Chains A and B, each alone.
Chain A
Amino acid sequence: MVKLHKYLLLVFLCLVNIPAALAANEKVVYHIHQTQADTLKRAINNIENLKKGMPGKPMDIRLLMQGNSIQLLNPSLQDKNLMARLLKLQDSGIHIEVSEKNYRHNRLQIESSLKPLLVENFFGRLIELQNQGYRYLTP
């Protein structure tokens, strides 16, 4: 009877640990809706700290920039170092998503190396991601 309990405990541990380990993708939607000068810096700091705080953990981070906040992606308005950090985040797998309408209005001013995904319905996209289990963060 004692041995049966040990086997059951082993099965229980497998059941608990395997799904937790397999479902380890941390999903975050980071929403920028402000256009203050330090907004992008705060956002980049937050995202870098998020990755630093969970080393080795696979993450799916989406940076959604609403409305005029897309102007923050203008390199002439930002520190070179900050844009470099943003590009590094993009290269590491962070997805930048912007409203299609706002992108068309600001396309020429946006850093050319950035490849944002265009979203037709911005709030709809935010809802969709949260429904998919993405945690919602703002600066």
Chain B
Amino acid sequence: MAKNTQQTDKQLSDELLNSFIDHQVAPDERREILDLIKKDKNLSNRVCDLQHIKEMTKLAYEHIPASRLPETVILKKRIVPRIAAVIAIFSLGLLLGLAVTQLNDYSESIASFNADDSITKVLVHLTSSDIDSGLNTLNNLQLLLEEYESNQQAVRVEVIANGKGIQLLDVGNNLISQRIKQLTNDYHNLTIAACKYSIEQLQISNGVKVDLIPQVRVIDSGVVEVIKRQNEGWTYIRG
């Protein structure tokens, strides 16, 4: 504020006077305004009015009631109900998981029970030229076929020979060829296949020429057939 002692009531704004009332003016200014108030009655009245307004405002807002927000907005921190909800959901998940496990076990047992109604497919993979082993495999095959026949259950058996297993299927192996002839005659659900690549390989690498038993059909690749059958859900047995 300019240090002008000639300022009158009309030149002093309400803003300045309110600052004076709030003791927000510099000491020099305050002294000037006090002098003016003494000399000017109008100014004195204005200051009183402003002081009065200030007091009334202060009185009106002295006790402000707490705001009452709607209950839906109020976020009450209820820890116990939240923990209870977590435990309930976890327990539900646990029970559901247990139910699923038991359902899996049940469906597995149902599947094995229902196996009687559907055809069982078995792939026997011959890779060894050992005659005893080969004969034993054929014995076990016969047992299997007999059991399924006596139980009136459907089964399909395919024997696939590759590698050294091809040598078992040579007509020169009398014991084996006799058994195969007998089994393929008795059981039309039994087929025997030999890998063409293995036959060629035996001849090229080992100089062994295999003269296959007539009941054996030739396929291109034994391993491809093994994989194909397993992908189709056949049970795999090494013979």
Contacts and interface: CB of A to CB of B under 8 A. Distances in A.
B89 interface: yes
B136 A17 contact: no
A123 B96 CA distance: 38
B236 A136 contact: yes
Contacts of B101: 18-19, 22-23
A14 B237 contact: no
Contacts, number: 105
A14 B85 contact: no
A19 B235 contact: no
A103 to B, nearest CB: 14
A67 B133 contact: yes
A18 B147 contact: no
Contacts of B104: 19, 23
A38 B196 CA distance: 30
Contacts of A31: 237-238
A138 B124 CA distance: 13
Interface string B137-150: 10111011001000
Nearest to A11: B93
A124 B143 contact: yes
Contacts of B239: 33
A66 B132 CA distance: 11
Interface in A96-139: 99, 121-124, 126-128, 130-133, 136, 138
B130 A127 contact: no
Contact of A126 (B90, B108, B132, B237): B237
A68 interface: yes
Given A23-B101, A99-B140, 11 more contacts: A14-B96, A14-B97, A18-B97, A22-B97, A22-B101, A23-B104, A66-B140, A67-B140, A121-B147, A124-B143, A131-B112
